[in-house]
Amino acid sequence: MTITALKNHLKILDNYRARINSCLDNYLSQNSALSENMRYSVLAGGKRFRPILTYTTASLFNVDLSQADSCACAVELIHIYSLIHDDLPAMDDDDIRHNQPANHKQFGEGQAILAGDGLQALAFGILAKNDAIDPAIRINLLQHLSRAAFKMAEGQSIDLSIVSKNVEIELLYSMHRKKTGALLRCAVLLGATLYPELSGEDEMVLNSFSEDIGLAYQVQDDVLDVSTSDAVLGKKQNSDAEKCKPTFPSILGMDESTRVYQSLYERASESIAQLSVDATPLRELTGKLLSRTF
């Protein structure tokens, strides 16, 4: 990629990030008893890769981004709800998120549970009431989101059940395809589903692509948890190892884990060459994911 092309790509990503932050702020501006603690976690920052994936995929098919806003917000709200609940003492028991106290440390465990519940309900509500999207397409979008949310919860359940256990690597692959991969896959499919004439062939390609980046993202997270400082991660380093949780580095080692996620990103990037549209923006984003440091 040339320097000019790289600058243009980064500018687009910055625009997407600013767009999703503005939309989230707008949706969370309602005055309710939960507003403060919901906003605390949602607007704390974060990579916003899931909504950026939604915007990027929608742009491939020339979908008006105003239609993609509700999808991008919905997938990010589901993600943030999962982080709030994952940080709870009954789950992963983490005190820091995005370099600030986790929601339950700031507001108490009960309020954190309710904030997560509220964000999940809000996500589905935002999609359901978007009258700018054809009702049939809206139903498909809601189905994608509900399946991903369920698989994510299922993956977390498996994660809790294998603490301090020796497991086969295939179980770890299966678990993270659900816990992390399902929502990343959903982010891609939400953007694509907005295009009424999406072909079955393009949907298959995007399915394959998103499954690969979803798994790659988690393997990479496990590596970064070991190799990156607290300040960069925005949470405690080596937290999984301290909790005796099976990870890709603990089973495969750091070098093999790195090779695995790099190979998955490479395969994902190659697969989208089969799309009927120019996949350059999605390929560039995949490269950005590969080079991330947190």
At 247, which CATH number? 1.10.600.10
pLDDT 10s digit of each residue in the chain, 294 long? Answer: 666 766 787 899 999 999 999 999 999 987 788 999 999 999 998 899 999 999 999 999 999 999 999 999 999 999 999 999 999 999 999 999 999 999 999 999 999 999 999 999 999 999 999 999 999 999 999 999 999 999 999 999 999 999 999 999 999 999 999 999 999 999 999 999 999 999 999 999 999 999 999 999 999 999 999 988 777 666 667 778 788 899 999 999 999 999 999 999 999 999 999 999 999 999 999 999 999 988
> Is the separation of the CB atoms in 205 and 274 below 8 Å?
yes
Domain that holds residue 207: 3-290
> Is the separation of the CB atoms in 198 and 253 below 8 Å?
no
> Is the separation of the CB atoms in 189 and 166 below 8 Å?
no
Check residue 243 and give its pLDDT. Answer: 84
Q: Provide CB contacts within 8 A for 82, sequence distance 6+.
A: 116, 152, 156, 183
Q: Provide CB contacts within 8 A for 12, sequence distance 6+.
A: 281
Check residue 9 and give its pLDDT. Answer: 77
Q: How far is CA 168 from CA 143, 162, 173, in A?
A: 31, 11, 9
Q: Provide CB contacts within 8 A for 77, sequence distance 6+.
A: 24, 27, 42, 119, 120, 122, 123, 126
The angle at the Cα of 237, spanning 105 to 250, to the nearest 5 degrees, equals: 125
Structural domains in the chain (count): 1
What distance in Å separates the CA atoms of residue 271 and residue 279, rounded to the nearest whole number?
A: 10
Check residue 1 and give its pLDDT. Answer: 61
Angle between helices 135-161 and 169-179 (to 10 degrees): 140
What distance in Å separates the CA atoms of residue 78 and residue 179, rounded to the nearest whole number?
A: 12
Check residue 239 and give its pLDDT. Answer: 78
